[in-house]
Structure 1
Amino acid sequence: MTVTAEAPLQTTPSTSRVVFPFTAIVGQEEMKLALILNVIDPKVGGVMIMGDRGTGKSTTIRALADLLPEMDVVEHDPFNSHPTDTDLMSDEVRQSVMDGHPVSVVRKKVTMIDLPLGATEDRVCGTIDIEKALSEGVKAFEPGLLAKANRGILYVDEVNLLDDHLVDVLLDSAASGWNTVEREGISIRHPARFVLVGSGNPEEGELRPQLLDRFGMHAEIRTVKEPELRVQIVEQRSQFDQDPKTFLNHYADQQKELQQKIVDAQNRLSEVTVDYDLRVNISQVCAELDVDGLRGDIVTNRAAKALAAFEGRNEVTVEDIRRVVTLCLRHRLRKDPLESIDSGYKVQKVFNQVFGVEPVEV
């Protein structure tokens, strides 16, 4: 049987929507850092952003996707296959490359896919045309949102309102890097490597702990209280809405600088090391916080390395770990059912004890 993918995606949009620049976003440093670290190393495992309504969650995520540089993709491939990395190719493209056939390559912006709350499993995972498979002997596959999100960002707003089964599917694909669709004995798989970003308002309900634990990082954001900062945010938004082009030009140099910094960090990541004693201390923090499993240890190590790479260093420091440990562990703590997610005080307290450092004044 051969595999065909119906309705191939367009490689480049004919028009691009104007997006608020990432470097112009004021405050919410915790959310911005978590997103950047996941872009540098998608294996960190995604970000869960919980906070008040109207705090710029969607704006920030769209701004990050727009900031990222264009990538090389195989032309007319519905899975955004990488032209040289076999781990990021669909089976069809990989077979074509192995057979010595040249592939046509185009440049494309990093894709950001919005997952609607009412999406069905077929819409998310894709569907197989059983009738075509039986009558013509062809695996006719219509790609879903996971195919479009490959090598991009998959954003789920109000993830705490999404069906648990769909959340499971998303997390499984994000962890394995592959999406498998099986219907009537026919099986098709394709790469699904994406940065999973979920957001929600805690007033509308929490995710189940076993699902929450599988997000690499958890950022908490709050409404800005300082009047001067609120005025600055309102004025910036007003300036952007009135004259987007001038506003974007004002931040163009900062955007290019941050983009280059992220690219350099991605290239440097494989060279970054964590001293053995620091790794032991990270695991001791996880043990003393009674964190279930080893995800907390793994994610904290990965996030610290991504931060060191972002800062232009090849060696992780205690300060790197301090900056990421709360993001990586706060949602993994066992807590009283009446409590909201730990603000980070408990994590920082244990970190200070284990690493023997003075508390940082906020």
Structure 2
Amino acid sequence: MNKIQNQARPVFPFTAIIGQEEMKLALVLNMIDPKIGGVMIMGDRGTGKSTTIRAIADLLPEIEVVSDDLFNSHLYDYDLMSDFVKQQIQNQVNLTTHSIKVPMVDLPLGATEDRLCGTIDIEKALNEGIKSFEPGLLAKANRGILYVDEVNLLDDHLVDILLDSAASGWNTVEREGISIRHPARFVLVGSGNPEEGELRPQLLDRFGMHAEIRTVKDPYLRVKIVEQRTNFDHDPYSCIDEFRNKQKDLKESIIVAQKKLSSIVIDYDLKVKISQICAILNVDGLRGDIVTNRAAKAFAAYQNKDEVDVYDIKKVITLCLRHRLRKDPLDTIDSGNKVDQVVSEIL
């Protein structure tokens, strides 16, 4: 069955994507450490944002989930279990598991709150005394990726729900005094075109990283990208075969980095320097400091190091801070360049 499904929709290989290094790095680091807090990808139309996001989901190793559970529950990790699974474990019920591809859930712009959060069947609850829950997109996205295209056009109310779930890792649905909650740990990926409207600063701040992508200007590179895409559309399977080894290598390095992450250390002096940069740039709150520390560790793990060095910080800090700076309407300098200037002075 899976084979037929996979054949129905071949996915463009992640390693075949040319350019857009900033976006690719931000996505890989979030796969290594989902606690970085997701990625906001802003850029021109037709620059491969959706293609890249779908490609990273296809690249990830499969996850083990409890069978007959609506929330992709983990068998051993308490934070990733639904209350139903916890109860089963307490009652010493033998649970079976199976492997699935990492869930990749699209949130359509016209989605309602019920579609996002799920609904409680009040009639069943009152008549039969059973808590009957129809899961929403947040339940499907647990332990996976939740992708919102044109996030700057999404209803503010839905964005608030999304960000609350992403921050707490739980989704709670309450109706008529009946309450159900379930784990909702996902990497939140938003994309948008700045011409169609800016995001509120407090929403931007909740995304761990912010990647900016531009249309490629080099004509030779543009031809290469067009040819690559044309070849894939003409014969997707030979294109997938061509990149099979590169895909395998990247998948392995992500798995190694995930295992290594908890042992990576970051020197106290470097932590002070990160906070010094955040203070000079006048970054509100401490989220910038926390995310930069996390991202630097994830990048060091990805490079197969044991300790974070200055290079790792320089590589990730612009991604972590550029969207947290206070916007001065009279400022002509790009926020990314502003971060770079301060970083080169301090580091």
Q: TM-score range by the shorter chain?
A: over 0.9
- The residue number in structure 2 matching 1:335 is 327
Matching residue of 2:281: 289
| Alpha-carbon separation, structure 1, partners of 2:4 and 2:98 | 15
CA RMSD of aligned residues (A): 1.4
Pair 1:144–1:341, CA change in 2 (3 A): farther
| SS of aligned partner of 2:181 | strand
Distance 1:252 1:184, change over 3 A: same
| 1:61-110 deviation line (CA, Å, top 9, x unaligned) | 00000000111011121100011111111000111012111111101000
Amino acid at match of 2:48: G
1:150 aligns with 2:138: no
Picking from 230, 234, 254, the partner of 2:222 is 230
Change over 3 Å in CA distance of 1:60–1:187 after alignment to 2: same
Could you tell me which residue of structure 1 aligns to residue 20 of structure 2? 28
**Conserved 8 A contact 2:22-2:211:** yes
Does 2:62 match 1:50?
no
1:99 to 91, 101, 106: 91
Give 2:294's aligned amino acid.
R
Q: Does residue 186 of structure 1 match 2:178?
A: yes
CA spacing shift, 1:121–1:259, aligned 2, 3 Å: same
CA distance in 2, matches of 1:136, 1:59: 46
Cα deviations across residues 335-358 of structure 1 (Å, max 9, x unaligned)? Answer: 124769934110011111111xxx
Q: Number of paired residues?
A: 345
The aligned counterpart of 1:353 is: 345
How far does the alpha carbon of each residue in 1:160-203 deviate from its partner, in whole angstroms, 9 at most, with x for none?
00011111111110111100111111110000000000000000
Deviations 1:221-240 (A, max 9, x none): 00000000000000001111
Match of 1:73 in 2: 65
Q: Tell me, which stretches of 5 or more residues in structure 2 are unaligned?
A: none
Alignment match of 1:112 (pick from 73, 83, 104): 104
Partner of 1:7: none
**SS of alignment partner, residue 344 of structure 1:** helix
Q: Is the CA contact (8 Å cut-off) linking 2:323 and 2:335 kept in structure 1?
A: no
Contact 2:325–2:335 (Cα < 8 Å) also in 1: no
Distance in 2, Cα, partners of 1:12 & 1:130: 35
SS in 1 for 2:276: helix
C-alpha separation between the residues in 2 aligned to 1:263 and 1:89? 22
1:15 aligns with 2:5: yes
Cα gap change, 1:243/1:12 in structure 2, threshold over 3 Å: closer, same or farther?
closer
Distance in 1 (CA, whole Å) between partners of 2:289 and 2:145 is 24
Contact 1:331/1:342 (8 A) holds in 2: no
CA separation in 2, counterparts of 1:68 and 1:149? 14
Distance 1:169 1:12, change over 3 A: farther
**How far is the alpha carbon of 1:13 from its aligned partner?**
8.5
- Quote the Cα distance in structure 2 between the aligned partners of 1:341 and 1:92: 53
**Structure with more of its chain in helix, by fraction:** 2
CA contact (8 A) 1:331 1:341 kept: no
The residue type equivalent to 2:214 in the other structure is: R
- The residue identity in structure 1 corresponding to 2:196 is E
Closer, same or farther: CA 92–341 of 1 in aligned 2, 3 Å: farther
Find out whether 1:83 has 2:83 as its counterpart.
no
Task: Look up the equivalent residue of 2:61 and give its one-letter code.
Answer: P
The one of 193, 197, 205 aligned to 1:201: 193
Structure-1 separation of matches of 2:341 and 2:330: 21
Residues 267 and 47 (structure 1), Cα distance of their counterparts in 2 relative to 1, 3 Å cut: same
For structure 1, the residue ranges without an aligned partner over 5 or more in a row are 1-10, 356-362
Cα separation, 1, equivalents of 2:259 and 2:59: 17
The 3-state SS of whatever aligns with 2:232 is helix
Q: How far apart, in 2, do the equivalents of 1:33 and 1:83 lie?
A: 30
Q: Residue 300 of structure 2 is aligned with which of 289, 296, 308? A: 308
Does structure 1 conserve the Cα–Cα contact (< 8 Å) formed by 2:42 and 2:191? Answer: yes
Q: Secondary structure at the match of 2:76?
A: coil
Q: Of residues 210, 228, 239 in structure 2, which corresponds to 1:218?
A: 210
Compared CA separation, residues 338 and 108, structure 1 to 2 (3 A): farther
Identity %: 72
Residue in structure 2 matched with residue 60 of structure 1 by the alignment: 52
Contact 1:330 1:341 in 2 (8 A): no
- 1:14 Cα offset (Å): 5.6
Q: Normalization by structure 1: what TM-score?
A: 0.93
Separation in 1, partners of 2:314, 2:81: 37
Q: Which residue of 2 aligns with 1:248?
A: 240
- Other-structure match for 2:291: 299
Matches of 2:326 and 2:153 in 1, distance apart? 22
1:170 aligns with 2:162: yes
Once residues 125 and 340 of structure 1 are traced to their aligned partners in structure 2, the CA distance between those partners, rounded to angstroms, is 41
TM-score by length of 2: 0.97
